[in-house]
Structure formats: structure tokens, C-alpha cells
């Protein structure tokens, strides 16, 4: 890469983009965290998983619904799909407007359940990713923009089950000037580890000899108990509702440079996370640097909408952000999708698999495909 480290890139962003901010370095660090989230989202989107994704939806702990945790991305079983269309005269495409469409009338959606503040597409063509438009008891409706051309917006509405089958969390901590490691690194690790261990019915435990065990309770009060990764594979392959009903595959995505170290050099924080998530991925310095260089600093003409959305978002004015995991300029979304499709093999190399050992992203993709294709309607009946 052209830059020796992400630290150098952060300093460059501090000087050239966030010079207006009171704490320019911290603002640049927050932007780097946003890039990690965006990379993760569009990588999942390139895997064909967009229709299953909810963003920052509260997730209750297993058998302890009083405590919920917002996670970056949760993947939910999709029960049904409807396609509807609007003209640009209908913009903004608000949740109220979408739920009033004649194709959704049969759902008898309560007005109180509609997310009135949500809009899939604004008048100035800002897209809301994974836009939740209403809640329906054990389900909720998410809408996605299929395409927008010739003044016609085609949308897909999916009925998603409240319980996810997988979650993704992104973690990044800055390095402060004059110190070797960010002071909040271990606290961030503990936060992520707690959520990863608390949300799924498949629980982790230690044998006396240090091996990681797994157990899952059945309806009759008995336990299925064996070595953790063997039991994890058994659950994923199973069609048994007792094993799957409250199971959630947990995936962590980490960056960056010096705080979490590498797949070959685990520090305390990385060890805590590696034994807590089912999968732990490390987004490398080279990967995030190439993303920044290719799309934000020196993009080809066809990717310039990404750069434009980024610089338009960071002007020092409030309410103009159009480059986040939630809201993104429509033109930037199209460019990002194109980039991730064209660079799929390169982007796969941006990630190191920390855990489980000897596994790769193809295996993770296979596990997610297996889970999304389960007969969840029967499992949750």
C-alpha cells in the first residue's frame, strides 16, 4: 500500500478533512470506525445477504429479555417478500407511505407500529439501508431499494422474524498520541465478549483441562454437551428446532493497527474476543488503506460518487451525513456495490480469520447460507 500504516492515513484525514473539528484526530478515528462498518455491510451485501440484514436492532439476551444490546448487523429469517414501485413524485419514500401501498393492505398494519420517522429514500436521494418500516409482534418489515431508474423506484419488502440467526459486530479503538495502546481497548473487548456470550442458546464453558465446551438446553431440561466447535457444527447442520430456535451465530470484525495485533500475535484483548465469538475476523491495515485510497482519496471516475458523498458529509455542518452504514447517497451506494463486486477476490484478502483456527471466509459464507435456508417458519412454530 502507498501508506506505511493506518496511523498515517488517520493523520492525513485529520489534516485534509477534519481540520475544522475541535478534536480532529478523534473525528478522523470515528470516520475510520465508520469505514470498518461500511466495508462489513457491503461485503455482506456482495454475498447476497442484504434482504436478511437489520441494522442496530435491539437484541435480547438468551432467556433474559430484560437486557437488550444493539448490534451493528443482525441477520434474520425472511418469511415473505413483496415488490412495489413508486415514482419520483412520491419521494420521500416514508414508512407511512410504503405501508399504505395497496399490496400491503392485507397485513392490517397498526398505525402505532409504523416507524414514522424512517424513510427508505429521501427527496435528495439519500438511501436508508435495511429500512425497518414497522413491527408485527414476532416479525418486522424491512424494505430495500431494488433499483431506481427512469424516475421509478422499485422496492422489496421482506417480513423478517424477530429472532436473528447470526450477528456481526465491528470493533475499533484508536491509539492516542504518545502511548502504545488505546486505553479503552480491553474495555471494548470485554463489551464485545459479553454480548457474544449472552445472546445465543449455545453456551460456552470450560473443561478442567482448558478445552472449550458447549452446551445447549433442550425442552425437557436435559443438556446437549460436547466440545464447543463440534457442537456448533452439529447445530448449524441440524434441522432440530430444539437446537436452532434460539441459536445465534456470532461474528466479530476487528480493526486496527497495533491495538488488536494480528492473527499470528494475539494479545490479551484478542484472546478474550477469539474465545467469545464463534467467528472473529481481523480487517487488516492494507485492506482499510486500499478502501480509503481506491474510493476516497484517489478514486477512478466511476467510483467518484463515494468520494463526493464522503466529503459532503464532513463539512463541519450538522445533518448532512450521507456516508454511514445507515444512510448513504444513492449514487455512492451504486458505486460501492460495483466496487465490491469487481474486487471480490481482493476484498476477501483484506480479512484474516482469527477464530476458529484453520477456517476461511468460504466456510463462514457456507455456514450463513446453511442457516438462512433453514425452514425457520417451522422451527419457530
The stretch 227-249 carries a mean pLDDT of: 96
The model's pLDDT over 162-194, given as tens digits with 9 standing for 90+, comes to: 999 999 999 876 555 545 555 566 787 888 999
Does a structural domain hold residue 187?
A: yes
Q: Give the structural domain span for 30.
A: 6-51+166-286+348-379
CA distances from 43 to 130, 279, 283, 361 (A): 15, 16, 12, 11
Mean confidence (pLDDT) of the chain: 90
% of the chain with per-residue pLDDT over 90? 70
Are 242 and 365 found together in one domain?
Answer: yes
Closest C-alpha to 27, from 19, 39, 37, 35: 19
Q: Determine the straight-line distance between the first and last CA of the chain, rounded to whole angstroms.
A: 52
- Sequential DSSP letters for 130-143: TEEEEEETTEEEEE
Could you give the number of structural domains in the chain? 2
Please write the tens of the pLDDT for every residue from 179-237: 555 556 678 788 899 999 999 999 999 999 999 999 999 889 999 999 999 999 999 99
pTM of the model: 0.94
247 and 103 co-located in one domain: no
Question: What phi, psi does 241 have (nearest 5°)?
Answer: -60, -30
Q: Is 339 domain-assigned? A: no
Of 145, 161, 177, the position where a domain reaches its end is: 161
Indicate the SS3 state at residue 360: coil
100 & 146 share domain:
yes
Domain stops at, among 161, 177, 209: 161
Statement to judge: residues 176 and 155 lie in one domain: no
Residue 22 has a pLDDT of 81
Question: What band does 256 get if pLDDT is binned at 50, 70 and 90?
Answer: low
Residue 46 lies in a domain: yes
Instruction: Please report whether residue 219 resides in a domain.
Output: yes
Q: Are residues 141 and 175 in the same domain?
A: no
pLDDT tens digit sequence for 317-351: 776 789 999 999 999 999 999 999 999 999 999 99
Give a yes or no: residue 310 inside a domain: no
Amino acid at each position: 500500500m502507498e501508506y506505511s500504516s493506518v496511523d498515517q492515513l488517520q493523520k492525513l484525514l485529520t489534516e485534509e478533512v477534519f481540520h475544522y473539528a475541535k478534536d480532529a484526530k478523534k473525528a478522523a478515528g470515528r470516520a475510520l470506525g465508520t469505514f470498518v462498518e461500511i466495508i462489513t455491510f457491503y461485503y455482506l451485501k456482495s454475498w447476497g445477504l442484504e434482504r436478511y440484514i437489520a441494522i442496530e436492532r435491539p437484541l435480547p439476551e438468551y432467556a433474559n429479555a430484560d437486557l437488550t444490546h444493539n448490534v451493528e448487523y443482525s441477520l434474520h429469517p425472511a418469511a415473505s417478500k413483496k415488490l412495489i414501485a413508486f415514482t419520483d413524485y412520491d419521494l420521500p419514500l416514508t414508512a407511512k407511505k410504503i405501508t399504505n401501498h395497496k399490496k400491503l393492505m392485507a397485513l392490517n398494519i397498526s398505525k402505532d407500529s409504523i416507524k414514522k420517522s424512517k424513510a427508505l429514500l429521501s427527496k435528495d436521494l439519500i438511501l436508508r439501508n435495511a429500512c425497518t418500516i414497522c413491527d408485527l409482534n414476532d416479525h418486522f418489515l424491512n424494505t430495500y431499494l431494488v433499483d431506481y431508474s427512469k424516475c421509478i423506484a422499485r422496492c422489496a419488502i421482506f417480513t423478517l422474524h424477530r429472532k436473528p440467526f447470526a450477528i456481526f459486530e465491528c470493533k475499533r479503538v484508536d491509539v492516542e498520541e504518545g502511548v502504545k495502546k488505546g486505553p479503552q481497548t480491553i474495555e471494548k473487548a470485554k463489551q464485545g465478549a459479553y454480548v457474544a456470550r449472552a445472546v445465543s442458546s449455545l453456551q460456552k464453558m470450560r473443561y478442567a483441562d482448558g478445552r472449550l465446551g458447549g452446551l445447549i438446553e433442550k425442552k425437557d431440561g436435559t443438556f446437549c454437551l460436547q466440545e464447543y466447535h463440534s457442537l456448533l457444527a452439529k447445530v448449524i447442520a441440524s434441522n432440530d428446532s430444539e437446537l436452532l430456535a434460539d441459536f445465534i451465530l456470532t461474528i466479530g470484525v476487528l480493526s486496527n493497527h497495533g491495538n488488536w495485533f494480528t492473527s499470528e500475535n494475539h494479545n490479551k484483548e484478542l484472546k478474550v474476543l477469539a474465545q467469545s465469538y464463534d467467528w472473529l475476523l481481523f480487517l487488516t491495515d492494507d485492506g482499510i488503506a486500499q478502501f480509503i485510497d481506491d474510493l476516497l482519496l484517489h478514486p477512478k471516475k466511476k467510483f467518484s460518487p463515494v468520494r463526493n458523498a464522503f466529503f459532503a458529509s464532513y463539512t463541519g455542518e450538522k445533518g448532512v451525513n450521507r456516508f454511514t452504514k445507515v444512510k448513504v447517497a444513492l449514487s455512492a451506494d451504486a458505486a460501492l456495490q460495483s466496487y465490491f463486486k469487481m474486487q471480490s477476490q481482493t476484498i476477501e484478502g483484506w480479512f484474516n480469520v482469527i477464530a476458529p483456527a484453520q477456517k476461511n471466509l468460504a466456510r463462514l459464507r457456507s455456514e450463513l447460507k446453511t442457516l438462512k435456508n433453514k425452514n425457520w417458519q417451522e422451527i419457530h412454530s
